[in-house]
Structures are given as structure tokens and as C-alpha cells.
Amino acid sequence: MGNRLNSAGRLTFALSLGVALMAGPWAALGQSTGEAVSRHVNIWSEGTRMSGDLWVPADAEPGAKLPAILLTHGWGGVRSHLNSTYAPKFAAAGFIVLAFDYRGWADSDSRLVIAGEQPTPDASGEVTVRARAIREVVDPYDQVADISAALDFLVGEPQVDTSRIGIWGTSYSGGHALFVGAQDPRIRAIVSQVGYQDSREAVRLRFAQQGGEDFARKRATQKARGEIAPIPQGIDQFSGLRGTPDIAKMVHYRPIAVAHRVRAPTLFIDQDAEELFDRRNHGLAAYEIVRQHAPARYELLPGKHYAVYRDNFEQASDLALAWFREHLGGE
């Protein structure tokens, strides 16, 4: 169902966790911190395999129903970072935790685009084609579809209490967490960390000289007419950020537009010196909307965007963990 590309050599964070020694399904290819263990899982999103890791508390009783947290990473983030930070910490606190990589990132399979004409299917509906493997594209709607597939997978896990599922998103997926949480009643608690809540603004600012939103809509026309690749690779990149943004899609994506539909308790965590966007138009603005309809809290930490993963990691993760404990239960 696509090319499996092992990109371990390109991951930003290396795993530092050992191999799990527990019996049962958690023993195979597992990791352990002594307080939490994981096993690798495959998740299917629109016909493409995504790679994930499912974490559980090491002392979880067989058959016990536990609250769960779905972790979703940002623009070009991969689950190896989550596996060495948030996932084991949250699992050790009594939660089942799922981390995964979007389609086309890390060791998740690629989406495929047919190269050339599509042949006529045979009697079984199968075709043999040449295809192009699509890697590292930032398409917010595809990422949301992947998050929904991961949530569907988590709901099917026997030990998960489906009435107590939370979602945690950071950076670009801070918006995804709000977007999904606003529309899926299975989400009972939300944490949006340094979240981008309006992609249209990003397109407008980044491509101001080319025409901003008009340029993004021109890209959509070019894609539809076959003048550029149907799924972009290596164009319109954002300086300092890995991956190719599909700006034709991004210009329409505004999680803040559905913030009024959020009913799950929502925690917003921002950095006071945020340099990638104006937090007042994103996290703070979304908080002001959500708090009118659901329990909400806004926390501001010192430093720039990436400090939330470094100097402020303990404080930010403690805030998130306390929020999930308050609204989902756990130890």
C-alpha cells in the first residue's frame, strides 16, 4: 500500500527508551520506562498504512478500562519525539496513549499518485501501475483524516474507556486538536499547545509578495488543470520548516472558525514570545471563543515557540497531564 521508507537517520529526536520485557502482546518490539510500556501498531488511513505506538501503564490490570490520550504532532513532527517525552509520561500516569506518524512521514507508508494513464481494471478490479510516492506534505485536511483514523483505532482498543478520550496537539496540530475536538463527540478533553488556529493567515503573510491568498487559489487552479503536480513536492516551502505545504488546501483551513462548537474542556498553552505567529490571533482568540461554551483555561509560558519542548517541557506537560486527570480521570 505504498513505499515503506525507513527515515530513522533523519529523525530529530532519538529514542532513549529500552526494550520492554513484559509478557503478552506488549513484549514484541516494545519499549519500557519501567512505568509504561509500548507496542508498535499499524493504523489504516484512507487505504494507506500509518505507523504508531500504543502505550499503557506498566501496572495496568488485565481487562481494566482506562482513559486514553491521542497525541498529534505538528508541522513536520514525528512520533519518535512523542515516544521519548509525552507518551511515556502520560502513560505512566494511568492513561493509554497513542502516538503515530502521518501518511508519508517517518516510517508510515507513502500516499501514491499514478504516473501516466490509469489502465483498465481487470475482472477483480485490480490494476498494475507506476506510481509516485508522496512524502512529507503538510496538508491539514489529510492530517485531520489521519487523526480521525488514529482515533478510530484507539476506540477499538479493548482496554480503552471510550467515554474518557482526550486529544493533545502541538504547534500546527494544536489547531487540529481543536478542529477535531469541535466536531467529534468522542473527544472529552482537549489540550492545544502553541497551536496555529488559522492557516489562511500563514499563507497571507508568507506569500504576501506573490499575492497571498490569491496565490494559493492560483495553485489550486494549477493543480486542477494539471499544470503542476496534483500533490505538491518541494515548492512553496516555509523557511526553517520541513516538508511541503499544500497552500491550496491551507488557505481554507481555519480551526478557529469552528471553535464555537467545542464543548469539551480545553486547555490552551502558549509561549509569551511566540515568533511564528501572533498568539493573540490564535491560541488567545480561540480561548476567548471556547470559554463561552465549555470549561477552558489559557496558560502563558515564557520564551519562544520551541521552548515549550525544551526549557518549558516539564511545566507544559505537567499542565496537560493535570488537565487530562481533572477531566478524564487517571491516577
Q: What CATH number does residue 54 fall under?
A: 3.40.50.1820
Angle at 168 between CA 301 and CA 178, to 5 degrees: 90
- Report the number of distinct structural domains present in the chain: 2
Q: HSE of 264 in the Cβ direction (CA atoms, 13 Å)?
A: 31
Same-domain pairing of 290 and 176: yes
How confident is the model at residue 309, as a pLDDT?
A: 97
Sign of torsion, CA 188 194 195 198? positive
CA-nearest of 207, 211, 173 to 190 is 173
Instruction: Tell me, letter by letter, the H, E, C secondary structure of 4-44.
Output: CCCCHHHCCCCCCCEECCCCHHHCCCCEECCCEEEEEEEEE
Separation of first and last alpha carbons in the chain: 40
Same-domain pairing of 36 and 138: yes
Residues 85, 115: contact at Cβ < 8 Å? no
Count of C-beta atoms within a 10 Å radius of residue 146? 25
Same-domain pairing of 229 and 193: no
Q: Residues in the chain with pLDDT < 50?
A: 1-29
Domain membership flag for residue 259: no
pLDDT digits (tens, 9 = 90+) for 288-327: 999 999 999 999 999 999 999 999 999 999 999 999 999 9
* Domain extent at residue 133: 8-198+264-328
How confident is the model at residue 32, as a pLDDT?
A: 59
Same-domain pairing of 212 and 194: no
Domain membership flag for residue 139: yes
- Model pTM score: 0.89
Same-domain pairing of 241 and 268: no
Domain membership flag for residue 216: yes
Same-domain pairing of 203 and 219: yes
Same-domain pairing of 137 and 232: no
Same-domain pairing of 59 and 176: yes
The interaxial angle of helices 283-290 and 172-183, nearest 10 deg, is 20
Of 253, 273, 292, the last residue of a domain is 253
Domain membership flag for residue 3: no
Domain membership flag for residue 258: no
Domain membership flag for residue 73: yes
How confident is the model at residue 331, as a pLDDT?
A: 60
